[in-house]
């Protein structure tokens, strides 16, 4: 049995150590918010956080997640950055089909947690690994900036 | 009250089932039910689109599938406008398969494609809303014994204006259900629209930002297994043998299912299924396509292009006019096979029993998929239940149901439910591709450089001959010639021909814009060639030929002005323009600004797009479709191609299916030209108008005219 801490809760799964975290989440634990897109870390749809750092769960063996705090889209709204990102996504109607957005939001939340006021270059670097075929990139960029502005305001006590 | 006919009972839904609903609580925002949820009985269901419960719950039944284009929201706006409810008061539910109730008038069945949802359902949905509202107002007037004209509906409440008495739709539902359905209702004058034309918030966003939205791939059933598939790498190939001994030894692998042209590994989870598939030793008989490469396909098309085609449009004697013109220009254009690469890989879940088959998937064609599942299962459609879900992208791929058929065939051999998921590689290599098209162009110019004749011969398959045979008339595929046949430029002699040429080495079908995406690249590149030959400005040249198309001229003016057409650019940069009109009945003009490096890399810096799509339902959705459609178009134009070697698709995943990423995305400006003309399509036109503006910008930047997509391949051949 492998012990995992996901979204603050302890889980035990009966799995081989090499199974990617993606399939543990989706097929063994029924947590379907994290998406399968390419299977080889090229599209970012499967992004989760390990100790707050974005990881492609499709190429992360479950053994590498043991002992780390795993956060998925289902709980990102409980973090400050995640909550602001989700709100900005709603405010700007970012989504279209929505399939890649779990990964986009996880990547954006990690970016904001690390860099409160990201530049366009910061956004490019943090988000270039996440593909969106509907083409929501312009709104993703604006929403990240909007979410960042909310931090700044909060920081000023506003 | 007169007797209620059986028909009225059927459509008014009377109180059968009653409005008895428990457990529903009011929530602040709109709700979108999981598409698979069963319809709840309602007190008042005057038509196939609206149900109102005694508790006031308003459910809108949407027959068009939501794949990102915002149709759940725009369809709801059309209903809510006339029904007099707020979008915050409704919930949306996906319609069951039923062509009688939900056929799209342009496509003949319950189908979401061809950018047709608003065009097809504008009037029917508004009528459905107005019918229900009229009945509710009548019910209120009868309750109060007052003149109907003295009552007004607003946000789900009918008010008797003189006395201020009020009754909610929920309270009125039972009485309204007993009224005959009026055959004539008055629709609101477009100038009085309160909701239509406003930037309403999408109804499907909440679940898409917290991971709770259920796509087809997210279906979970008790005892469900996961399967993944390897189909014959060559179209038409057959399985010869498979050694599954190593696969069966992998922990979690439960079963190997063998079909005529595919092998599936059924397992406890996707990882075991994938490993099992890799461990199989499969031998295929490639069949007749096993030696074909892209060059063979092009050769076949080029040969067909030497033969005359069926005449699509003929004005004057274009051939003679080209021959006799002081200047003659001839060009050949080619566009490659393209894969869709929607973010949600192809998948379908089935539970096949001897007497019943249940299917869960995401499809643009619910009734076709339903019938396809029945056929594969060998059951009547009544014995097949199909549940539609949110689509993680459609782009035309999910207008096909090959994956439903395959899943049912696999499911027949599996005890219990099974979710069949294609790997990304399988998704790319077994797509139903945008066809390879080959176009021959010629034009004659007079001494002033104006075109006096235009000929266009389109060579490619007739997708509609397979997909919708009645639409394939007189040898013309209306989709294959779309956008070319409607050429707006005033030219004295025009001849447009279609040569049907099938290359069955790959399955081909619809890809966001299909015919227009190809034709617009060709005609807007070629008119640019003519302008260059005439040494005239590309915008002015087009404008002079659009005298009879004021809406086209208007969008061209808006785009050129907003883009700063004519302003100087740095060396290596160029600006290109394109104009689009087609069956979609929308007018677009686009200006692209690109930079081409010495190594031949194209950087798109800015796109300005002006759009006149007539009546706009949700301007923010239109804007989103333009932004996203352009990005889809840039990926296709710069890099998109599927190539063949020995009958096998050479691309497999996002490493060789390159698509635009956020760091490569240009600034995109959308300018809506608003009017109250009939609504035009918006899902595909922005994609279709993009390739030509980019190719023309590359020409402006480099002097190199690219007549074969993708663009970058021509600038830096690999």
CA geometry: angle B314, B316, B317, nearest 5 deg: 90
CATH (domain of A125): 1.10.150.120
Considering Cα of A83, then A84, then A89, then A90, what sign does the dihedral take? positive
Q: Are residues B203 and B259 in the same domain?
A: no
Q: Are residues A97 and A139 in the same domain?
A: yes
The residue among B405, B396, B113 whose CA lies nearest residue B386 is B405
**Is residue A85 a contact partner of residue A108, using CB atoms and an 8 Å limit?**
yes
Out of A20, A123, A124, whose CB is closest to B271?
A20
Q: Are residues B312 and B195 in the same domain?
A: no
Place of tokens 């309750």: B143
**Is residue A28 a contact partner of residue A2, using CB atoms and an 8 Å limit?**
no
pLDDT tens for B606-649 read: 999 999 999 999 999 999 999 999 999 999 999 999 999 999 99
Q: Are residues B192 and B232 in the same domain?
A: no
Q: Are residues B329 and B279 in the same domain?
A: no
Write down which residue in A71, A94, A126 finishes a domain: A71
Q: Are residues A54 and A95 in the same domain?
A: no
Q: Are residues A32 and A82 in the same domain?
A: no
Number of separate domains in chain A? 2
Number of separate domains in chain B? 3
The residue among B601, B234, B301 whose CA lies nearest residue B435 is B301
Out of B204, B344, B665, whose CB is closest to A99?
B344
Q: Are residues A63 and A110 in the same domain?
A: no
What is the per-residue pLDDT for B32? 56
Locate the chain A residue with the closest alpha carbon to B219. Answer: A32
Angle, helix B690-702 to helix B619-639, in steps of 10 degrees: 50
Residue B427 in domain: no
Q: Which residues of B touch A95 (CB under 8 A)?
A: 68, 202, 204-205, 208-209
Residue B321 in domain: yes
Locate the chain A residue with the closest alpha carbon to B339. Answer: A133
Q: Are residues B242 and B300 in the same domain?
A: no
Burial B221-234 (b: 16+ CB within 10 A, else e): eeebbbbbbbbbbb
Q: Are residues B599 and B689 in the same domain?
A: yes
Residues B662, A127: C-beta atoms closer than 8 Å: yes
For residue B564, give every residue at least 6 positions away whose Cβ sits within 8 Å of its Cβ, in sequence order, or none. Answer: none
Which residues of chain A from 72 to 111 reach within 8 Å of chain B, CB to CB?
A: 72-74, 77, 86, 89-90, 93-102, 105
State the complex-level ipTM.
Answer: 0.97
The gap between the terminal CA atoms of chain A, to the nearest Å, is: 48
The boundaries of the domain holding residue B128 are 6-209
pLDDT tens for B280-322 read: 999 999 999 999 999 999 999 999 999 999 999 999 999 999 9
CATH (domain of A12): 3.10.20.30
Read out DSSP for B16-65? Answer: TTTT---S----SS-EE--TTSPPPP-SEEEETTEEE-TT--EEEEE-S-
Helices marked H in chain A: 21-23, 62-65, 80-91, 101-114, 120-127, 137-155
Q: Are residues A83 and A150 in the same domain?
A: yes
The boundaries of the domain holding residue A86 are 76-155
A23 to chain B, any CB pair closer than 8 A? The answer is yes
Instruction: State the Cα torsion A74-A78-A79-A85 to the nearest 10°.
Output: 70
Place of tokens 């919708």: B468
Place of tokens 């270039």: A128
C-alpha distance from A8 to closest chain B C-alpha (Å):
17
Q: Are residues A83 and A140 in the same domain?
A: yes
Q: Are residues A120 and A64 in the same domain?
A: no
**Is residue B246 a contact partner of residue B281, using CB atoms and an 8 Å limit?**
yes
Q: Are residues B78 and B204 in the same domain?
A: yes
Q: Are residues A63 and A98 in the same domain?
A: no
Q: Are strands B451-460 and B493-500 parallel, antiparallel or unpaired?
A: parallel
CATH (domain of B229): 3.30.365.10
Paired strand residues for B353: B356
Write down which residue in B149, B178, B209 finishes a domain: B209
**Is residue B159 a contact partner of residue B219, using CB atoms and an 8 Å limit?**
no
Read out DSSP for B503-557? Answer: -TTS-B---TTHHHHHHHHHHHHHHHHHHHHTT--HHHHHHHT-TT-HHHHHHHH
The residue among B437, B425, B433 whose CA lies nearest residue B402 is B433
Q: Which residues of B touch A123 (CB under 8 A)?
A: 662
The gap between the terminal CA atoms of chain B, to the nearest Å, is: 78
Write down which residue in A40, A71, A102 finishes a domain: A71
Q: Are residues B242 and B162 in the same domain?
A: no
Helices marked H in B564-664: 619-639
Burial B153-178 (b: 16+ CB within 10 A, else e): beebbbbbeeeeeebbbbbbbbbbbb
Residue B494 in domain: yes
Read out DSSP for B398-465? Answer: GG--HHHHHHHHHHTTSSS-EEEE--HHHHHHT--BBPPEEEEEEEEE-TTS-EEEEEEEEEE--HHH
Residues B205, A95: C-beta atoms closer than 8 Å: yes
Q: What is the mean pLDDT of residues A100-118?
A: 98
**Is residue B332 a contact partner of residue B439, using CB atoms and an 8 Å limit?**
yes
Neighbours of B506 (CB within 10 A): 24
Place of tokens 């009085």: B192
Helix (H) / strand (E) containing B686: helix B685-688
The residue among B663, B357, B316, B668 whose CA lies nearest residue B494 is B316
Q: Are residues B184 and B307 in the same domain?
A: no
Cα(A3)–Cα(A18) distance, integer angstroms:
14
Paired strand residues for B60: B50, B92
Residue B1 in domain: no
Q: Are residues A93 and A59 in the same domain?
A: no
Q: Are residues A30 and A56 in the same domain?
A: yes
What is the per-residue pLDDT for B717? 65
φ, ψ of residue A59 in degrees (nearest 5) = -120, 15
The pTM score is 0.95
Q: For chain B, which residues score pLDDT lower than 70?
A: 1-41, 717-718
φ, ψ of residue B131 in degrees (nearest 5) = -60, -50
Write down which residue in B178, B209, B240 finishes a domain: B209
Q: Are residues B280 and B307 in the same domain?
A: no
**Where does residue B238 rank: exposed (0-12), middle (13-18), buried (19+ CB within 10 A)?**
middle
Cα(B453)–Cα(B692) distance, integer angstroms:
21
Write down which residue in A71, A105, A131 finishes a domain: A71
Helix (H) / strand (E) containing B239: strand B238-243
Q: Are residues A47 and A108 in the same domain?
A: no
- Find the farthest-apart pair of alpha carbons in chain B and give their distance in angstroms, rounded: 83
φ, ψ of residue B703 in degrees (nearest 5) = 80, 5
**Can you list the pairs that B52-55 forms with residues at least 24 positions away whose Cβ atoms lie under 8 Å?**
B52/B19, B52/B132, B52/B136, B52/B169, B52/B170, B52/B173, B52/B176, B53/B19, B53/B21, B53/B24, B53/B170, B53/B173, B54/B18, B54/B19, B54/B20, B54/B21, B54/B170, B54/B171, B54/B173, B54/B174, B55/B19, B55/B21, B55/B24, B55/B170
What is the per-residue pLDDT for B522? 98
Q: Which residues of A touch B388 (CB under 8 A)?
A: none
pLDDT tens for A1-18 read: 999 999 999 999 999 999
The residue among A53, A54, A50 whose CA lies nearest residue A67 is A50
Residue B426 in domain: no
Choose the mutation target among B67, B70, B112, B210 for the interface with A, i.e. most A CBs under 10 Å.
B210
What is the per-residue pLDDT for B31? 53
Q: Are residues B487 and B386 in the same domain?
A: no
Write down which residue in B175, B194, B209 finishes a domain: B209
SS3 B592: strand
Q: Are residues A96 and A58 in the same domain?
A: no
Q: Are residues B306 and B387 in the same domain?
A: no
Locate the chain A residue with the closest alpha carbon to B656. Answer: A42
């Amino acid at each position: 049995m492998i012990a995992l801490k996901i979204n603050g809760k302890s889980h035990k799964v009966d799995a081989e150590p090499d199974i990617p975290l993606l399939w543990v989440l989706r097929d063994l634990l029924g947590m379907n918010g994290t998406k399968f897109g390419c299977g080889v870390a090229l599209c970012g749809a499967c992004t989760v956080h390990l100790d707050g750092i974005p990881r492609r769960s499709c190429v992360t063996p479950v053994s590498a997640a043991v002992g780390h705090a795993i956060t998925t889209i289902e709980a990102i709204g409980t973090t400050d950055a995640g909550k602001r990102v989700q709100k900005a996504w709603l405010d700007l109607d970012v989504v279209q089909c929505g399939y890649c957005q779990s990964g986009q939001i996880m990547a954006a939340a990690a970016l904001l947690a690390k860099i409160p006021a990201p530049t366009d270059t910061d956004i490019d670097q943090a988000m270039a690994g996440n593909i969106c075929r509907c083409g929501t990139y312009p709104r993703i960029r604006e929403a990240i900036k909007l979410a960042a502005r909310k931090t700044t305001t909060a920081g000023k006590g506003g | 009250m007169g007797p209620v006919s059986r028909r009225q009972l059927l459509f008014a839904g009377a109180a059968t089932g009653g409005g008895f609903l428990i457990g529903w609580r009011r929530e602040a925002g709109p709700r979108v039910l999981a598409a698979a949820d069963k319809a709840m009985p309602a007190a008042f269901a005057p038509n196939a689109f609206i149900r109102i419960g005694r508790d006031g719950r308003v459910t809108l039944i949407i027959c068009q599938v939501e794949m990102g284009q915002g149709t759940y929201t725009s369809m709801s706006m059309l209903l809510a406008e006339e029904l007099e409810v707020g979008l915050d008061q409704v919930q949306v539910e996906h319609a069951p398969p039923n062509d009688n109730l939900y056929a799209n008038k342009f496509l003949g069945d319950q189908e979401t494609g061809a950018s047709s949802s608003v065009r097809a359902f504008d009037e029917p949905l508004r009528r459905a809303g107005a019918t229900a509202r009229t009945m509710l107002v009548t019910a209120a007037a009868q309750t109060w014994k007052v003149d109907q004209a003295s009552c007004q509906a607003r946000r789900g409440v009918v008010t008797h204006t003189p006395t201020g008495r009020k009754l909610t739709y929920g309270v009125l539902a039972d009485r309204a259900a007993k009224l005959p359905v009026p055959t004539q209702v008055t629709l609101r004058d477009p100038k009085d629209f309160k909701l239509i034309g406003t930037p309403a918030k999408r109804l499907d966003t909440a679940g898409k930002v917290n991971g709770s939205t259920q796509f087809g791939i997210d279906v979970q059933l008790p005892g469900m297994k996961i399967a993944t598939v390897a189909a014959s790498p060559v179209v038409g190939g057959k399985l010869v043998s498979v050694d599954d001994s190593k696969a069966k030894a992998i922990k979690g692998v439960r079963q190997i299912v063998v079909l005529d042209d595919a092998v599936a590994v059924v397992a406890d989870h996707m990882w075991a299924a994938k490993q099992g598939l890799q461990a199989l030793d499969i031998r295929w008989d490639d069949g007749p396509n096993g030696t074909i490469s892209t060059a063979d396909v092009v050769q076949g098309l080029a040969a067909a292009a030497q033969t005359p085609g069926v005449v699509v449009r003929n004005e004057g004697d274009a051939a003679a006019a080209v021959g006799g013109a002081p200047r003659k220009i001839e060009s050949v254009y080619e566009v490659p096979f393209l894969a869709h690469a929607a973010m949600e890989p192809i998948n379908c879940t089935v539970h096949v029993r001897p007497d019943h088959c249940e299917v869960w998937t995401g499809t643009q064609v619910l009734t076709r998929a339903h019938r396809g599942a029945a056929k594969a299962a060998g059951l009547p459609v009544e014995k097949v239940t199909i549940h539609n879900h949110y689509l993680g992208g459609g782009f035309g791929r999910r207008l096909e149901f090959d994956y439903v058929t395959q899943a049912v065939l696999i499911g027949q051999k599996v005890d219990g439910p099974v979710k069949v998921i294609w790997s990304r590689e399988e998704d790319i290599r077994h797509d139903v591709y945008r066809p390879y098209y080959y176009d021959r162009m010629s034009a004659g110019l007079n001494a002033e450089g104006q075109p006096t004749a235009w000929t266009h011969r389109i060579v490619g398959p007739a997708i509609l001959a397979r997909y919708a045979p009645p639409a394939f008339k007189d040898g013309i595929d209306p989709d294959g010639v779309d956008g070319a046949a409607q050429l707006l430029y005033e030219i004295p002699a025009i001849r447009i021909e279609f040569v049907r040429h099938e290359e069955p080495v790959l399955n081909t079908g619809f890809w966001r814009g299909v015919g227009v995406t190809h034709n617009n690249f060709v005609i807007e590149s070629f008119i640019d060639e003519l302008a260059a030959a005439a040494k005239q400005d590309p915008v002015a040249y087009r404008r002079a030929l659009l005298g009879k198309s004021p809406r086209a001229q208007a969008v061209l003016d808006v785009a050129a002005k907003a883009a700063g057409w004519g302003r100087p650019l740095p060396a290596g940069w160029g600006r290109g323009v394109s104009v689009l009109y087609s069956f979609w009945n929308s007018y677009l003009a686009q200006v692209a600004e690109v930079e081409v490096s010495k190594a031949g890399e194209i950087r798109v810096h800015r796109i300005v797009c002006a759009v006149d799509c007539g009546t706009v339902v949700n301007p923010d959705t239109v804007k989103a479709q333009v932004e996203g459609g352009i990005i889809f178009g840039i990926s296709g134009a710069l890099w998109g191609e599927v190539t063949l070697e020995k009958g096998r698709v050479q691309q497999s995943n996002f490493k060789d299916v390159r698509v635009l990423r956020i760091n490569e995305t240009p600034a995109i400006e959308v300018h809506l030209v608003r009017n109250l003309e009939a609504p035009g399509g918006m899902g595909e036109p922005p994609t279709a108008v993009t390739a030509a503006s980019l190719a023309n910008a590359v020409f402006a930047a480099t002097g190199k005219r690219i007549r074969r997509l993708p663009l970058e391949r021509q600038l830096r051949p690999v």
